[in-house]
Amino acid sequence: MPETISRFQGPHPLVETVGLASVRGVATIRLRTDFVDVTPFFSAYSEIPNSALTPPDCTVVVLGHTGEMPKIWIALLPKACATSTTANVSAMVFFRPASYGYSAIAQKHTATAIPRYFLSPMPDADASAQFWERDHCFPQTDARGNQYAYNLMRCGFGAALVNSFRAVVVLNPWPSGDQFGVAASAQLPSLTTSAIRFLWAAGHLCEGVANVHLGRLGLSSFSRGGLAMWPTLAANRSRVSEVWAFDTMDAADASALAVQWYRADNTRSLRLVGGAYHRAQYRAIQQTLQNYRASMSQFSAVLVDPNDFDPSYNPAWQHYTKDVASFPPKNWLADTQHQFAICGGTRIGDRVTPYFEKFMLDSGFNFF
């Protein structure tokens, strides 16, 4: 039998005895290599060093999947997870929009989207902030002299984890183009379990805790990431406990799926952010649930009414667009409302609490 290792209160998490010792004293041992740590490789091949991807009081681990695509999974977790005494570790899997195409870890990787999701914007009063680091839209001029509004504000996933005191691993399966491979399938719970076991083995989770395993599983997505999230929910209805949709696309009718899934278990949480393109759909889901007299305690729908973007009603939106409120180019408004779905939130004083953080606070995920 594998020797008991004190920091795991049992066998090493990546070692399994699958065959008992024969008369010759030979046993069969399986070593789990579903995921390996490729953080140094990613740092060497990405445009941005790992130190620039990591929020305060958090750890970022780039996992290489040794099976099918996607090869890269990026794990974000608060450092307090290392000392958490909760054996059932929750995970939120975030499906981002389409990315660049890749086929291997040892190639150039465009990592600019990672700090956008993980980091928080710098305070408006900080004059050293670059325009992409600020907490509001910034007027820009392209090479042809055309004005546009930069609206890809940072989303603050790391701060959401730290401020909510939730022992949650945010997993980002990194798509090749818009293909999420096995991450968007019935294999997701077992893959997430393997990732958690690896992070536990590497000392990022639950030091000194025995039998660490996947607890509550959540799915979230933004924009085209919904094309992967909704099919993943359909394939894992009984295993998923949280769904957060940030103005997400869906290939089929996700509304019926969302209603059926939410009504099936009163411990589930469904959070919808309408943004620009799915306000009517999310309002309809809300109305359907009310007609069914479903419990609404774990349901919320924001930015589902055009009045939600009235500057006098929404201080966060007013601040977000203060420099571009009367911007001339066509179509900037819809896309800016769309981006606000993932990086916007509720402004109190001089800070915006992003919707992602609010949902984390209201979630059923475990505390540290």
Looking at residue 51, its pLDDT comes to 79
Extract the tokens encoding 202. 């590497």
In the predicted structure, residue 105 carries a pLDDT above the cut 60: yes
- pLDDT, one tens digit per residue, over 23-69 is 777 888 889 999 999 999 998 999 888 778 899 999 999 999 999 99
- Report the greatest alpha carbon distance in the chain: 82
Alpha carbon dihedral 197, 199, 200, 206, in 10-degree steps, equals -130
The pTM assigned to this predicted structure is: 0.95
Q: Regarding predicted confidence, which is higher, 285 or 111?
A: 285
Q: How far is 286 from 266, CA to CA, in rounded Å?
A: 15
Beta strand residue intervals within the chain, DSSP E = 15-19, 28-31, 35-37, 58-65, 72-78, 88-95, 138-141, 147-150, 168-173, 213-222, 240-246, 269-273, 299-302, 345-348, 351-354
Looking at residue 331, its pLDDT comes to 65
* Contact (Cβ atoms closer than 8 angstroms) between residue 352 and residue 123: no
DSSP 11: S
Looking at residue 349, its pLDDT comes to 74
Looking at residue 3, its pLDDT comes to 65
Return the closest-CA partner of residue 100 out of 92, 91, 112.
112
Q: State the amino acid at position 207 in one-letter form.
A: E
Looking at residue 328, its pLDDT comes to 61
Residue ranges and CATH numbers for the domains of the chain are 1-31 (no CATH), 33-361 (3.40.50)
Looking at residue 20, its pLDDT comes to 74
Q: What is the mean pLDDT of residues 259-286?
A: 96
Alpha carbon dihedral 101, 105, 108, 112, in 10-degree steps, equals 70
Looking at residue 2, its pLDDT comes to 57
In the predicted structure, residue 300 carries a pLDDT above the cut 70: yes
